[in-house]
Chain A
Amino acid sequence: MDFAVIFVIAVALGFDYVNGFHDAANSIATVVSTRVLTPRIAVVWAAFFNFVAFLVFGTAVASTIANDVVVQSVLSIGVVFAGLIGAIAWDLITFWLGLPTSSSHALVGGIAGAAVAKAGFGVLITEGLRKIGVFIVLSPLLGLAVGLLITLAIYWVFHRNRNIERLNRGFRRGQLVSAAAFSLGHGANDAQKTMGVILALLIATGHLAPGSSTPVWVVLSAHTAIALGTLTGGWRIVKTMGSKITRLQPVGGVAAESGAAITLFATSIGGIPVSTTHTITGGIVGVGAARRLSAVRWGVAGRVVWAWVLTIPGAFAVAWLTMQAVDLLS
């Protein structure tokens, strides 16, 4: 394996680390904002479940990223590198602004932008991009609906219980499970995107035959990188997700995380790359909407939606420019 391939794999794992740093903050936002765990223990808890996700889920999402975004013949070391730079730059810009955008869609936008810069719009696979695009809209709505239905079910089951303090204590323990489930889903869906990029690179450079499955060392290194990113944490976004959209009690935390976790499990099994940010935002809004719509701070939720809309074009543009620079230099 030559130096350029190793370097781009290192950049991909760097993206995975930034993804953990940027997105995994969402998975511990509710558990921290409801004071179930201290921030330090919460990141260790989330990182552990990020890592063990490889034992539970397959690599269907990795296959979608490697095969269904752009035609494989256009992929090269330069394209993958430029795509990753576009995604990382967009992630860091939105991290600096405190916006909970999607690293996943930044990656898709970045790879698409770099491929288009190299060979034009004809290299985009419309079917794959349409599937990803549809779930940009559906995943938060799915998280919202499931989060809301779980909240209603909890209210219905426990509506006769008058001992609120005891009930809250029970849900605080329950949040440990729901946070773990969400981190598991996060590790499964997000780490696989990096695996997909590395898989595409290895196929493009002839290190693997087309249609190969993801090697174990790629799976392990991607999960390690995202878990390390989670350990480092990203507190600006935790604040936005955990308290600015709606105030959460432990019962709400359980419902939001469970809704988001169910969405992530289903999409990971279905091979659909979705954003953990989108799903947990949907779950949190669902919990707020179960009480009353005014419990949701729509100004913040609207800002989040704008960030979603801009993510793919933003990462696309940065990657396009990077690809032009790579072409000039080479």
Chain B
Amino acid sequence: MPQDKLKNAAGLYNLTRDLGGAIALATIGTVMNTRLHFHWNRLIEDINLARPEVQHFLDMRTNHFDGLIPGDAGRAALKLLANLVQREALVLTYNDVIMLIGGVFIAALFVMPLVRRPRTTPVSPGH
């Protein structure tokens, strides 16, 4: 009798872990999409040509690229700036998601008092 309960429980237990993983990855993917969008929008608010720093950055890079690569050096500089913003937005997004996972773990600690004390003497199923 106990053998079949044990087998059933082992299946269910592995299923919970796999589903936990699948749900986590789906949530992470979704949160990353929205947060990336959010951070990107917030970062590019400050990136406009009215600010001298931005203009300076672009000028410097345009000069740098000029002659170094064929084609429009100004466009290359702009592309570089976009990549930088994208990268920083990604970094912020990763940090958000990692904090979220940490938060889930903290929340899980609050359920711990409900767990009954497991017996200290080992029980022997399957006899």
Check if A and B associate.
no
Q: B: which residues have CB within 8 A of A?
A: none
